[in-house]
Amino acid sequence: MQQTRGSGSDFLQLDPASAPARGRSMWLAARLREAITTGQVPDGAPLPATRVLAADLGWARGVVVQAYQRLGEEGLTSGRARAGTRVRRPSAHPHDPRPGPSSRTAAPRTPTGSPARSPARSSARSPAGQPSAHTTPTILDLTPASRT
């Protein structure tokens, strides 16, 4: 007899009562990360739909979406709109042909883990009052004015 997998938090054995009042998305991401890295959820397996898992946990859908996004940023899941989120366990081989974040394409991070911001290109002058290197020079119209 084949065992069927539950559709939400039951197959992951998540206990929402053990989650902290604040930081639920971090808690959920940690539980999912553990299940993925230990092999409890196999590579390529679909994760529950965000609406289903949120309803099972009794939480807002945004908490689940944020947890899934964290895992995607870490390269542990991949997903497409309306196609669901699937587990993508990182390979131990450095030449893994599967697409994912790499040092060439991943956005630079600050020490706190948030994305690094590029310098603003909208300011025309630096703080010292000099033209910014990031601006396009203004072309001046030097043609003589027509006489009327």
Q: Where are the domains of the chain?
A: 9-87
pLDDT band with cut points at 50, 70 and 90 for residue 53: very high
Instruction: For domain 9-87, say whether CATH 1.10.10.10 is its number.
Output: yes
pLDDT band with cut points at 50, 70 and 90 for residue 32: very high
Say which residues have a Cβ less than 8 Å from residue 84's Cβ, sequence separation at least 6.
46, 47, 49
CA atoms within 13 A on the CB side of 74: 20
